[in-house]
Amino acid sequence: MSKDFSEQELVRRDSLKKLSDLGINSYPAELFDVNNSSQNIKKNFKEGDVLPVSIAGRIMSRRIMGKASFVELQDSHGKIQLYVNRDEMCEGEDKTMYNQVFKRLLDIGDIIGVTGNVFITKVGEISIMVKSLKVLSKSLRPLPLPKTDADGNLFDAFTSPEKRYRQRYVDLIVNTGVKKAFIQRTKLTNSMREYLNSNGYLEVETPILQPIYGGASARPFKTHHNTLDMDLYLRIANELYLKRLIVGGFDGVYEFSKDFRNEGMSRFHNPEFTQMELYVAYKDYNWMMDLVEEMVEKIALDIHGKTEVQVGDNLINFKRPWKRYTMYEAIENFTKIDISKMNESELATTAKQLGVQIDSSMGRGKLIDEIFGEFCESKLIQPTFITDYPIEMSPLAKKHRSKEGLVERFEAVCNGKEICNAFSELNDPIDQRERFKDQLELAKRGDEEAMQLDEDFLRSLEYGMPPTAGLGIGIDRLAMIMTNSNSIQDVLFFPQMKKEN
């Protein structure tokens, strides 16, 4: 057994046994009544108040000085000091709870519940005079707490990104500032949901397992249903199902969806991610641009109390209105080349001259997308709408009402990355079938991200879908910006990781 545990872990297991020998259950089932928090006590207690409290949390540090000790207790709201005095805590002559349990058998990381009275120490620190103590959970592994060297420098903290992402539960304990990003992420989704609900749109749920994947250009994850004996795919988007609901008569529907794409990973990409997709009948992409500006400005105000957000070295301002470029204007602005009239061959030659890596599977739309990604996207720091995409890039968007060869589509780009994508949705079933056929031809050329032809979706369009505006917002990307996080892994509790060695 000893070779399976470190020396410290063996000591803790021995303490667990000794607690049991004393008749103390280190993992009790009964309720412990918590009636206050560290944050609330510190915020509201005034000298002279009489405040009995019952509080629970994790031991983060302690100083034992004979019959009196100081403990730093951490709950979900912060930290507070406990003053543990043997004579105050132990009634009569039974000093076991202090002398044996507290002094010898409890460790940093253990979860305890205490009752006592709040007071202010001589040095002015709000603390709790402990009257009773209960063991609630024995920690069998030592926490990787930071230490301080002779010069006051911190070292040996739990700072390795891989360990932090893999063991988020430890990260949250010892790096308490990590919680802030996740709390702000929840504020983001709450703000967005509040905005959408207030405008009368219905939150819905659509299938994650789909017989045909669609709604985006991406590689799917594939699985098999044994009872039905059929292959299914984890959804890459929920667009086609939400449009079916518009066909069915809903005026506005939205969904916070978990989507899955079997592609590369980076600090901007996780194979499982969250999108909010919204579809509103009788609207177009111009209307949707105004909605995005208004909603994202509200989110910034709800999280930060202002429209300006610091992201790395950039101060980003979400105040309306945002700058707008067409796709061709953006490329010409940053490359000084007008590609608007180029065919596929000319685009391939131009891309090579610009140093963009291409291959034979890329059609006209993919070539334009690669040029834009290489020369434009990273330069768009302030929120910017890129509009009017070439038709080859957007098989689900409606043809532009006045510009031949383009579609009514926009993306919002911020801090060098796309945060949303939107269309005037294609509702012509004949045109949609031809677009799907074009995608099948790209798939034959080796494009693994080409869309499939979805006959049921086409059938739904043949019953008639009203003019519709559609929107997809990447929640993880937007959360990175709103929380000033450098990596998508910093806004996901449990990002996907390689197998642990």
Q: pLDDT truncated to tens, each residue of the chain (501 aa)?
A: 445 889 999 999 999 999 999 999 999 999 999 999 999 999 999 988 999 999 999 999 999 988 899 999 999 999 999 999 998 887 655 788 888 899 999 999 999 999 999 999 999 999 999 999 999 999 999 999 877 667 767 666 688 889 999 999 999 999 988 999 999 999 999 999 999 999 999 999 999 999 999 888 889 999 999 999 999 999 999 999 999 999 999 999 999 999 999 988 888 899 999 999 999 999 999 999 999 999 999 999 999 999 999 999 999 999 999 999 999 999 999 999 999 999 999 999 999 999 999 988 888 888 999 999 999 999 999 999 999 998 888 888 999 999 998 999 999 999 999 999 999 999 999 999 998 888 888 888 887 777 788 999 999 999 999 999 999 999 999 999 999 999 999 999 999 998 887
| pLDDT value, residue 42 | 96
Q: Within this chain, do residues 446 and 394 fall inside the same structural domain, yes or no? A: yes
Q: Within this chain, do residues 139 and 185 fall inside the same structural domain, yes or no? A: no
Rounded CA-CA distance 422/276 in Å is 12
Q: Within this chain, do residues 212 and 86 fall inside the same structural domain, yes or no? A: no
By the 10 Å C-beta count (0-12 exposed, 13-18 middle, 19+ buried), 105 is classed as: buried
154 lies in a domain?
Answer: no
Q: Within this chain, do residues 62 and 112 fall inside the same structural domain, yes or no? A: yes
Helices (H), ranges, 154-284: 161-166, 168-174, 178-198, 239-247
Q: Within this chain, do residues 130 and 192 fall inside the same structural domain, yes or no? A: no
Q: How many domains does the chain have?
A: 2
Q: Within this chain, do residues 252 and 183 fall inside the same structural domain, yes or no? A: yes
| pLDDT value, residue 1 | 46
336 lies in a domain?
Answer: no
Check if the beta carbon of residue 424 is closer than 8 Å to that of residue 285: yes
Q: Within this chain, do residues 202 and 79 fall inside the same structural domain, yes or no? A: no
- Where is the domain boundary, 127, 143, 159? 143
Q: Within this chain, do residues 65 and 209 fall inside the same structural domain, yes or no? A: no
Q: Within this chain, do residues 235 and 137 fall inside the same structural domain, yes or no? A: no
| pLDDT value, residue 363 | 85
Rounded CA-CA distance 104/97 in Å is 10
Structural domain for 205, as ranges: 178-322+382-491
| pLDDT value, residue 215 | 85
Q: What DSSP element (H or E) covers 430? A: helix 429-444
Q: What is the CATH number of the domain that holds 83?
A: 2.40.50.140
| pLDDT value, residue 376 | 95
Cα-based distances in Å from 254 to 143, 201, 210, 276, 425: 42, 7, 18, 7, 15
Rounded CA-CA distance 491/179 in Å is 10
Q: Within this chain, do residues 127 and 188 fall inside the same structural domain, yes or no? A: no
Cα torsion angle, 78, 83, 88, 93, sign = positive
Check if the beta carbon of residue 239 is closer than 8 Å to that of residue 396: yes
Q: What is the CATH number of the domain that holds 282?
A: 3.30.930.10
Query: Residues in the chain, how many?
Result: 501
Q: In terms of pTM, does the model score above 0.85? A: yes
| pLDDT value, residue 451 | 79
Kind of pairing between the strands at 417-424 and 111-120: unpaired
